[in-house]
Amino acid sequence: MTGNKETFGVLFVCLGNICRSPLAEGIFIHMARQRGMLDRFDIDSAGTGAYHAGERADPRSIRVAKKHGVELVSIARQFQPREDIDRFDLIIAMDRENERNLLGKGAPRDRLRLMRSYDPALAGARGAELDVPDPYFGEGDGFQSVYDMLTRACSGLLVSIDR
Ligand code: 4NP
C-alpha cells in the first residue's frame, strides 16, 4: 500500500471514462461488497481523455450493468497524474493504448496493469488479446461482451489482491 492509508487504491482507466472503466469500477465495487471486502478498498475510474468529463456513464453501460444487478454511479473525469499516482496502489488500463498514454503521463510501470491480465483464462495471452475493445462506436452486443470480460477480470483481480 502507498503511504499510511488503511485502504488499497484501485483506479480503472479507459479513454472516455463513460463505457469500459465505469463498468469495471461498478462490477468491482459490487463484487467487493458481496464478499464483505468493500471497506478495504478505495475504488475509482478515470479517462485518459477529457471529452466526456462531468457526464454519467454511457446509457448502454448503465443498462448492461443494471441487467446484472450492478449500479453505476460514476461521473466521468480525466486522469490526474499527480493526485492519482499518489492516491492509487494499482492503475488498471482497459487496453494497450490507454496503458501507453498512462505511461506517457508518468504512471509508474510497477503499479500499472492491463485489465484482462487478471483473467485467469487468458494466462499467457499477449497483444490485442489483452485489450478490452472499445464498445463506443460498435453495434450489437458489444457492451454485454465487455461486461463478461470485465466480470472475469474483476474476479481474478480480487483474488490477486486478497492473496
Ligand atoms: P470508453 O469509450 O473509453 O470505454 O469510455 C469511449 C467513449 C467515448 C469515446 C471513445 C471511447 N469518444 O471518442 O468520445
pTM of the complete model: 0.96
Query: Is 146's pLDDT higher than 70?
Result: yes
Cβ(60) – ligand 1 distance below 6 Å = no
pLDDT at 17 over 80: yes
Residue 2, pLDDT > 70, answer no
Which ranges of 68-95 would DSSP assign to H, the alpha helix? 81-87
pLDDT at 70 over 80: yes
Active site residue 154: no
User: For ligand 1, is residue 16 a contact (CB within 6 Å)?
Assistant: yes
pLDDT exceeds cutoff 70 at 12: yes
Q: Look-up: residue for cell 479517462?
A: 47
Do the Cβ atoms of 110 and 119 come closer than 8 Å? Answer: no
Average pLDDT over residues 44-58: 98
- Cβ of residue 19 lying under 6 Å from some atom of ligand 1: yes
Helix (H/G/I), strand (E/B), else coil: 81: helix
Residue 5: predicted pLDDT:
76
Q: What integer pLDDT is reported at residue 3 of this predicted model?
A: 46
Decide if pLDDT at 161 tops 80.
yes
Q: How confident is the model at residue 140 (pLDDT cuts 50, 70, 90)?
A: confident
Identify the residue whose C-alpha is closest to ligand 1 atom 7. 16
Domains by residue range for the chain, with CATH: 8-161 (3.40.50.2300)
CA–CA separation, 80 vs 130, rounded Å? 24
pLDDT by residue (tens digit) across 81-96? 999 999 999 999 999 9
Residues 129-154 have a mean pLDDT of 94
